[in-house]
Structure 1
């Protein structure tokens, strides 16, 4: 922490990926706000794009994250347990266990069994970027129930696939997901509140389509090329001051 404080106070410029991270750099590390610029992550819209094929049945919800308590997969499972099976068939959990949190993965499997969801929740492990893009594009909705996120890049990737996101109001997720425009941001961690929000979307295909279109527009304003240009512009301004 002392090293981070020294860097934050002495650097000529700092780049934060979200307003939440900027506030942390200023408030916790003592950086000069005038030297901190927010440049969000970018998304590869050539890799993450709408590619949904016609599905039989009610489809699936997707969560993709490292499997550790911080990411809140337990909330995704508890939410899914409260949704009418006629509305959505499966919850797919994509991601591997973070080292040291293997017991948490065991707990998740026990939770699935306790809720009688053994045939409806699939843990597919870590997937490469192309496979993740296909899973995202095929999902009805993407869930991000993290307790904390500096930004939440997977939410932006889902948006680039035209898939609405339901996310927790944690850190940069409130910027990665625009409430009512690209998805829903929930202050509550009550599974019933989450289930009601997800159910409302599943029963309103017009709203899902509208949020999907909004997500595409949001993602296309956050491509890697655009973010790279913003980064270069920041460097040039810094060099110009010299």
Structure 2
């Protein structure tokens, strides 16, 4: 596994750590449980990290020294790829011949490295985009920065050279084919999963008690990295709209913002708290630093609704995790969220990013307990369709296809 720009051991929700970190680690665990040894290569971000770390039997993380340990942003990393490739290749040279059978790269930076290892080791390359520059640039949030042309060229090269591409959804598969010219026969759809032992339903009262949330609170939750792409400002503006149209909600409405600044959000780290004050929401909004998966599960379970108004999501693990906890989701009708949320069943999909539309979608879930309970039950059922066990089985099937294709062209 190649995960160059962010380690699967990092806490999701801050910096560059997010759903991809969860994806790489959970998939690796499932593969290891099936007897497939996994070695994950990621860039070292501290001199105190060991060169190798065994996460659990069958999974080793290599911390590769490539550039300064600290101070590099994601857009600085392409200049450090040569050092990363050198150390990755060295591991194979120091091992027995044929040590690696297949490379699975994640995100375009890793894909660039993957194309080199594919040629050097003579093994198949499977790549998962997670996000794509052409899609992001078509759906930029206000104040966000367009992805560079170098990334687009890199992604096009990966699409051309990878033996198989894994898309999270049918929509992502369509984008790979239409925007990048991918061969449809080499693109497989494999949905990410959710750990349903961590994200569990039927415990709202328990979760609220542990977090100090009042029993009668109408709690709207945003969980994720604080950056324009994720649109947390839409949640605050929707809350302000709710209070404007229904002042009686003031005593009950609570908004939880769980996560840390990331990406272009690092340029104005106080922007969201400043907006809260500007909107007169300081008595309503609670900002929570990045939390563990177990604590995040409590926040999901405590919420009346989870709001995911992102401008783009390749899948949207937050939406599935929330539904697994029995919490309906109000989300933007973009990318993978249209798959992650069953519109009108397990949640509500909203066109665009008008805060008034999100307020309109949220209000029934906050004031109608029977509606929320009915949608909660259906949310759990919908989330049960997504499991890491199924994700692993389907990914292994893609690996087998990649082997056959690779051998046929030798």
Q: Where on the TM-score scale, by shorter chain, does this alignment land: which range?
A: over 0.9
Q: 2:195 aligns to what? A: 44
Tell me, in whole angstroms, the C-alpha distance in 1 between the residues paired with 2:309 and 2:252.
18
- Aligned equivalent of 1:110, options 255, 274, 288: 274
Match of 1:11 among 162, 165, 184: 162
CA gap of 1:105–1:81, structure 2 versus 1, over 3 A, is farther
- Name the stretch that deviates more: 104-113 or 74-83: 104-113
TM-score normalized by the length of structure 1: 0.93
> Residue in 1 aligned with 2:185?
34
- In the alignment, is the contact (CA less than 8 A) between 2:228 and 2:264 conserved in 1? no
Output aligned runs, 1:79-94, within 5 Å: 79-83=238-242, 84=246, 85=249, 88-94=252-258
Question: What SS does the corresponding residue of 1:3 show, helix, strand or coil?
Answer: helix
Report SS of the residue matched to 1:46: coil
What residue ranges of structure 2 are gaps of 5+ in the alignment?
1-151, 207-213
Q: How does 1:195-214 map to 2 (within 5 A)?
A: 195-214=359-378
Per-residue displacement from partner, 1:4-30 (whole Å, max 9, x unpaired)? Answer: 222212333211112232122212221
Q: Give runs of ≥4 in structure 1 deviating > 4 Å.
A: none
Greater shift, 166-175 or 77-86, is seen at: 77-86
Residue number in structure 2 paired with 1:171: 335
- CA shift, 1:122, in A, is 0.7
Tell whether 2:226 aligns with 1:74: no
Per the alignment, do residues 70 and 100 of structure 1 end up closer, same or farther by CA in structure 2, a change over 3 Å counting?
closer
Q: Distance in 2 between matches of 1:102 and 1:12?
A: 36
More relative contact order in 1 or in 2 (CA 8 Å, sep 6+)?
A: 1
What residue in structure 1 maps to residue 176 of structure 2?
25
Does residue 230 of structure 1 match 2:394? Answer: yes
RMSD between superposed Cα atoms in Å? 1.8
Larger radius of gyration: 2
Return the alpha-carbon distance in structure 1 between the equivalents of residues 159 and 263 of structure 2: 29
Structure 1: unaligned runs, 5 residues or longer: none
- 1:82 is paired with a residue whose SS is helix
Q: Does structure 2 conserve the Cα–Cα contact (< 8 Å) formed by 1:87 and 1:202?
A: no
Q: 1:122 aligns with which of 286, 290, 301?
A: 286
Structure 1 counterpart of 2:353, from 173, 185, 189: 189
Secondary structure at 1:28 match in 2 = helix
> Aligned partners of 1:157 and 1:218: how far apart in 2?
11
Is contact 2:304–2:365 with CA below 8 Å preserved after alignment?
no
Distance in structure 2 (CA, Å) of the matches to 1:99 and 1:191: 23
Distance 1:3 1:120 in 2: 44
